[in-house]
Amino acid sequence: MDYEPSDVTVVDRKDEITSRIPRPAEAPAPASPPQQSSETPASGLEQMHATRHIRLEDLHAYYGSNHAVKGVNLSFEPGKVTAIIGPSGCGKSTMVRCVNRMHEEIPGARSQGRVLLDDVDLHGPGVDVVAVRRFVGMVFQKANPFPTMSIFDNVAAGLRFTGTPRDEITDRVNAALEAAGLWDEVEGRLSEPGMSLSGGQQQRLCIARALAVEPAVLLMDEPCSALDPVATLKIEELIGQLKQRVTIAVVTHNMQQAGRVADTTAFMLSGELVEVGPTEKMFTNPDDERTEQYVTGKFG
Amino acid sequence: MEASRSAQALLGGGGNMRRRHAINRAVEVSCWTAALLAVAVLAIVLVSIALKGAGEINLDFLTQNTSSFGVGGIGNALVGTGILIGLAALMAIPVGILIAIYTSEFAGRRSGFVIRYVLDILNGVPTIITGIFVFALLVVGHQQSGWAGAVGLAIVMLPLVARSCHEVLTLVPGHVKEAGLALGASRWRTTLSVTVPTALSGMITGALLAVARAVGETAPLLLVTSIYPDLLVTDPSQPLPNVTVTIFRYSETPDPVKHAQAWGAAFILILFVLALSIVARSLSARMRRRLGAAR
């Protein structure tokens, strides 16, 4: 971690999004941060440093006429894990899916408001949705490796989508598997199908796949809800290790999990953000009565 | 009161229970009989064709040209059918797959429904109508040709390919497609790199079954590629000899030798169709296993 995030990198990565404005139809650009990957292709991931800030401003999301997220203002700080808790159907998944614009993939779904990556509105005109997803990675509730691909190809998939030079791919796949804590378990059998791994390993494979393209932000939508306690623990440890490298937001309906992994916790109810604060305070001395009722198990 | 009755009286089953058992048994037996009937029909067809046709199969039969009199073979008809099916497959399979990708991945709910409905209607069009249509379109004013036959077969295959590929593409779980999109792949890239490979063996199954169906079609060929010489013809701009029309022709003659050869040709045809179906089945089983793991 001898890498100092400089203003130069900040400007460059932002430009990479906005520079797509005049030519949104072009093929995906070559590898991510040019100066990082060209100087040290093998260790780009290790040198990554969470510097990006996500800020939701008055975010509304709809499914047809159903108003699922109602004017949320919330920040995901770099170097910290933000947990979003709340009962099922409160809009927490919908909210994070607005950040990487996966929400708009659903027919009839739309959103309003701003999602700022530093000071660029990801929903702004001319911002390319493909570029947004390169900067904001996502891990889903259900581990979803590509069924036809090997372990290696799963992690390489995102790099290939973005046209990473062939000779860089192996190093970056290995680095991503290492970062996802999976390397020791899969070394020597990278050509086996991704589906041959256990559930917890598959989820870490999906984390490796998301990390391989070196995103600035990682959204995790209930990443452990389909896993057993041991696999869950591994993912939680991993979140703790990764938070220095990438800005992380975790959606969870498991309050204990939020308590274990998050620095900041946000509580949502019926599409509204009820309260956000340091995790410790949220669980011991929340300001809002509804938060207290939820964290003490009175409902949800 | 229930409590006052003995357990024996409650559980032993009275007259009502006996009646329900009898109905259950009757329904079970009739379903079983109907299923058996279907299997029996197939078995009878296969066995009778094998009995009457298998004896005809020898090298000469497979390599000699068709003939109007005396002993010949079906060599040129096999070649012609191969060319017809090959050309039809080249026309129908790519277009059918593109239609399936459109209806399953890109079309809105309404346009997808309309296109699938149209394909179902096309699938239901009697093949003699398809034959007349192609005859009117490509043969009237020109001449019979292999191209016209291939177009007829392609029309038969198209809805089968498109519908079966649509079904298997929609079997690919949404969360797998989402993973591609969330990685920064565009929709077409996700379709090409993730969805289609996942469904590929199922799509091949669909294509093979369409080939198996088309290879046995006679009606679309009867009007457009049936007046052919008893020679090897490989130019599709000429009428191509083919197996199904040969079977029809041979069975119309008064010559018992030709009748036997029609059985022989039928045997070859049905063996080919059976082999294709078995390959198609095993491929689709493979895809289901793979998807089962992905669910």
CA atoms within 13 A on the CB side of B78: 18
A169, part of any domain:
no
The confidence score (pLDDT) of residue A42 equals 42
Residue A36 pLDDT > 50: no
B211, part of any domain:
yes
A187, part of any domain:
no
Question: Which are the contacts of B26, defined by CB distance < 8 A and separation ≥ 6?
Answer: none
B68, part of any domain:
no
> Residue A45 — pLDDT band, cuts 50, 70, 90?
low
**What average pLDDT does the segment B262-274 reach?**
89
> Residue A7 — pLDDT band, cuts 50, 70, 90?
very low
Strands (E), A118-228: 120-121, 136-139, 217-221
Tokens representing B46 are: 């296969």
Residue B294 pLDDT > 60: no
Q: Which position has the token pair 């008055």? A: A58
Interface probe for B, chosen from A141, A144, A217 (most Cβ of B below 10 Å), is A144
Best CA proximity match to B67, nearest among B201, B195, B241, B187: B241
* Residue A274, min C-alpha distance to chain B (Å): 28
> Cα angle at B182 between A21 and A200, to 5 degrees?
155
CA–CA dist A211, A157 (Å, integer): 11
A160, part of any domain:
no
Residue B153 pLDDT > 80: yes
Residue A216 pLDDT > 60: yes
CA–CA dist A33, B35 (Å, integer): 64
In chain A, which residues touch B (CB < 8 A)?
A: 28, 100, 102, 105, 107, 130-131, 133-134, 137-138, 140, 142, 144-149, 157-158, 160-162, 195, 206, 209-210, 213
Interface probe for B, chosen from A100, A141, A161 (most Cβ of B below 10 Å), is A161
**Domain range for B273:** 73-294
Residue A43 pLDDT > 50: no
Q: How many domains does chain A have?
A: 1
Strand duo A81-85 + A264-269: pairing: parallel
A127, part of any domain:
yes
> What residues in A contact B202, CB-CB < 8 Å?
none
A124, part of any domain:
yes
B2, part of any domain:
no
Residue A300 pLDDT > 70: no
Question: Which are the contacts of B205, defined by CB distance < 8 A and separation ≥ 6?
Answer: B164, B168, B280, B281, B283, B284, B287
Residue A1 pLDDT > 80: no
For residue A106, the domain's CATH number is 3.40.50.300
B107, part of any domain:
yes
CA–centroid distance for A96 within its chain: 9
Q: How many domains does chain B have?
A: 1
Say if residues A152 and A190 touch (Cβ distance below 8 Å). Answer: yes
The confidence score (pLDDT) of residue B60 equals 79
User: Would you call B78 an interface residue with chain A, using a CB distance cutoff of 8 Å?
Assistant: no
* Residue B99, min C-alpha distance to chain A (Å): 20
**What average pLDDT does the segment B234-243 reach?**
85
Are A144 and B293 a contacting pair at CB < 8 A? no
**Domain range for A65:** 7-21+48-146+214-295
CA–CA dist B196, B188 (Å, integer): 10
The confidence score (pLDDT) of residue A165 equals 86
Q: Which position has the token pair 């979003």? A: A84
> What's the mean per-residue pLDDT of chain B?
87
Residue A83 pLDDT > 90: yes
Residue B218 pLDDT > 70: yes
B103, part of any domain:
yes
> What residues in A contact B289, CB-CB < 8 Å?
none
A110, part of any domain:
yes
The confidence score (pLDDT) of residue A31 equals 39
B196, part of any domain:
yes
The confidence score (pLDDT) of residue A24 equals 33
- Angstrom CA distances, A89 to A223, A252, B61, B194, stand at 17, 12, 71, 29
Least confident of A49-58, A102-111, A231-240: A49-58
Are B175 and A157 a contacting pair at CB < 8 A? no
> Residue B292 — pLDDT band, cuts 50, 70, 90?
low
> Residue A46 — pLDDT band, cuts 50, 70, 90?
low
> What's the mean per-residue pLDDT of chain A?
82
B92, part of any domain:
yes
Residue B289 or residue A41, greater confidence: B289
Taking only the tens place, the pLDDT of each residue in B154-173 is 999 999 999 999 999 998 88
**What average pLDDT does the segment B265-278 reach?**
90
Strand duo A54-63 + A66-76: pairing: antiparallel
A111, part of any domain:
yes
> Residue B13 — pLDDT band, cuts 50, 70, 90?
low
Taking only the tens place, the pLDDT of each residue in B168-191 is 999 888 889 999 999 988 889 999
B5, part of any domain:
no
* Residue A221, min C-alpha distance to chain B (Å): 12
Both ends of chain B: CA-CA distance in Å?
50
